[in-house]
Structure 1
Amino acid sequence: MYDMKALYEANTVEEAVKLRMEHPEAQIIAGGSDVLIQMREGKRAGKELISIYMIDEMRGVKLDEEEAIRIGSLTSFSHITKDPIIQEYINVLGEAVDMVGGPQIRNIATIGGNTCNGVTSADSASTLFAWDAVIELTGPEGIRRIPISDFYIKAGTVDIKEGELQTAVIIPKNSYEGYKGHYIKYANRNAMDIATTGCSVNVKLSEDKKTIEDIRIAFGVAGPIPMRTKSAELLAKGQPVSKELAEAFGKEILEDINPRDSWRASKDFRKHIAVEMATRCFIESVKLSGGEI
């Protein structure tokens, strides 16, 4: 049994916003893969819950009128991995969320729940940072869209205002068109483990595949929130593709990251593997883009 004060169920976004306003202290629950565990542990005992699981309009992946990729916040990780739009345009996101937990977790856990947790170790988060994702929030004043980099405020805290809920994650066309990416998760075990560090890189090559036209790199567990390493991006942008550039790119991330010491790994170890991860992600992204290195 779970110690909850009350459970309210919304069938539409409008109902969910109304319930949020009527019960401002209530906890939103989607798949429940995090909330129910926290409740069982006593961290959320006695809470009111607002279930949004039945809101089908918040599920699925589609291209909108501007050809942006719209991922409904209730879309499960399993559906993201298998979705043909994801596989065609941003397959690295499908690969990243396929590393979360086990099959049962991926079948129930949602992209919205993963990002709204605000934790730096979320496998989807660093990948979405590298795609310049936009978060859509719906509340009593209508729809609000903000860059994912502004959505994360501090560890465990995201920018959701009173009455709002996250309704979608959006990847603009100019953020994915012409880019290929790769994600590496380092963990103590190969499955069912939280990332010790995660690195995601997207590359856009010149037409002749010899120059880095644009590059984005993001890390999880390299700071209190997921983060881009702008110094490495600036170093590589516009430069000829080479193994030397890949190695310099990897070392340059040390200018920006600030991982923590924890029982999972020391700060020094995280910095050491982050350099190698960035280098490998760079090389693999170039290869996926049709370049040689």
Structure 2
Amino acid sequence: MYDIEKYYNARSVSEAAMLLMEHPEARIISGGSDVLIKIREGKMAGTSLVSIRDIEELKGIERKENGDIYIGAGTVFSHITANSVIRKYIPVLGEAVDQVGGPQIRNIGTIGGNICNGAVSADSVPTVFSYNSLLHIANAEGGRTVPVREFYLGPGRVDLHPGEVLTHVVIPRAEYEGYHGHYIKYSMRNAMDIATLSCSVVSKVNVSEKILEDVRITFGVAAPVPYRCTETETLLKGRKLDTSLYQELEESIRNEIHPRDSWRASKAFRLQIGGEIARRALIRTVELAEAELGGENA
């Protein structure tokens, strides 16, 4: 049984914002893959819900004339993976969300829910961080835009005020054009498991000169919130792609991330894995850049 106090079905973003202002104790629900589980477990028993599932303006993906990519917060994972814009310009995001749960979850779970629940194990979030994404949030005053790096306030806490609804994840053209990305999720099982540790690397490579022009490295489950390794990024930018760079990458990552001990894995194990998956992810992004140049020259 689901102990739900009241259920409101919003038909527009403005109606959802109004309902949330009128009922500040209510929670937003779309796919329900997180909220309904918590209600059934008794953690949110007696909660009122505002459904945004039927709001069409929250669904879909569009590349604007200026090249910015808008992803509706209500877009389910399977639609992100299959979308032609994602596959052409930021395929790493589709690959990342394709590792969420199983097919049932990927057909109901949304990127907005994945971001707003504040879980550091969320598969979409490291890549959203590495692309310096912006979050468009609607409210009664018209709305605001928040860099995703400022959205996470602590474990399970995000910067979403009463009466607010996340409407779009925006990836600016300048943040993805010329970049390649790769996401690695380490978990105890190959499927249907949350991440023990995850890492998304996005890089821009000068293939002919073998120079790492830019790199962004974001971890999940390595700190209380999604963690950008800015110290390591600074260390690597502008460097020659050689064995010493990858060795320094591993060492720097292990000094920078702050995982914890848990029943899933020890801190020491996560530190060891962290350096390894960051190295593998960067190597893969370089391979993708080389393959693209090879295809252009063919």
TM-score with structure 1 setting the length? 0.97
| Cα distance, 1:209–1:45 mapped onto 2, change above 3 Å | farther
* 1:241 matched residue in structure 2: 241
Could you report, residue by residue, the CA deviation over 1:114-158 in whole angstroms, capped at 9, with x for unpaired residues? 000001111111111111111111001112111111000101000
Relative to structure 2, which stretch is displaced further, 204-213 or 85-94?
204-213
* 1:180 matched residue in structure 2: 180
Aligned partners of 2:62 and 2:69 also within 8 Å: yes
Aligned partners of 1:232 and 1:250 also within 8 Å: no
SS across alignment from 2:54? coil
* 2:210 matched residue in structure 1: 210
* 1:134 matched residue in structure 2: 134
Matched, 1:124 2:121: no
SS across alignment from 1:201? strand
- Which segments of 5 or more consecutive residues in structure 1 lack a partner in the other structure? none
* 2:296 matched residue in structure 1: none
Aligned partners of 2:58 and 2:72 also within 8 Å: yes
Query: In structure 2, what is the Cα distance between the partners aligned to 1:66 and 1:162?
Result: 32
- Which segments of 5 or more consecutive residues in structure 2 lack a partner in the other structure? 294-298
Query: In structure 2, what is the Cα distance between the partners aligned to 1:176 and 1:243?
Result: 26
* 1:10 matched residue in structure 2: 10
Aligned partners of 1:209 and 1:290 also within 8 Å: no
* 2:166 matched residue in structure 1: 166
* 1:34 matched residue in structure 2: 34
Query: In structure 1, what is the Cα distance between the partners aligned to 2:177 and 2:97?
Result: 21
The alignment of Structure 1 onto Structure 2 pairs a total of residues equal to: 292
Alpha-carbon distance, 1:208 to partner: 2.4
Could you report, residue by residue, the CA deviation over 1:229-253 in whole angstroms, capped at 9, with x for unpaired residues? 0111111100111132122112211
Alpha-carbon distance, 1:207 to partner: 6.0
* 1:76 matched residue in structure 2: 76
One-letter amino acid matched to 1:171:
I
* 2:107 matched residue in structure 1: 107
Aligned partners of 1:96 and 1:183 also within 8 Å: yes
Query: In structure 1, what is the Cα distance between the partners aligned to 2:54 and 2:247?
Result: 48
Query: In structure 1, what is the Cα distance between the partners aligned to 2:89 and 2:65?
Result: 16
SS across alignment from 1:203? strand
Aligned partners of 2:76 and 2:107 also within 8 Å: yes
Identity of aligned residues (%): 52
Alignment of 1:187-198 (within 5 A): 187-198=187-198
* 1:49 matched residue in structure 2: 49
Aligned partners of 2:254 and 2:272 also within 8 Å: no
Alpha-carbon distance, 1:255 to partner: 2.9
Query: In structure 2, what is the Cα distance between the partners aligned to 1:66 and 1:43?
Result: 44
Query: In structure 2, what is the Cα distance between the partners aligned to 1:209 and 1:219?
Result: 28
Aligned partners of 1:187 and 1:194 also within 8 Å: yes
Query: In structure 2, what is the Cα distance between the partners aligned to 1:220 and 1:147?
Result: 17
TM-score with structure 2 setting the length? 0.96
Alpha-carbon distance, 1:254 to partner: 2.2
Aligned partners of 1:231 and 1:255 also within 8 Å: no
Aligned partners of 2:132 and 2:148 also within 8 Å: yes
Alpha-carbon distance, 1:209 to partner: 5.1
- CA RMSD in angstroms comes to 1.2
Query: In structure 2, what is the Cα distance between the partners aligned to 1:266 and 1:145?
Result: 37
Query: In structure 1, what is the Cα distance between the partners aligned to 2:255 and 2:268?
Result: 14
SS across alignment from 2:240? coil
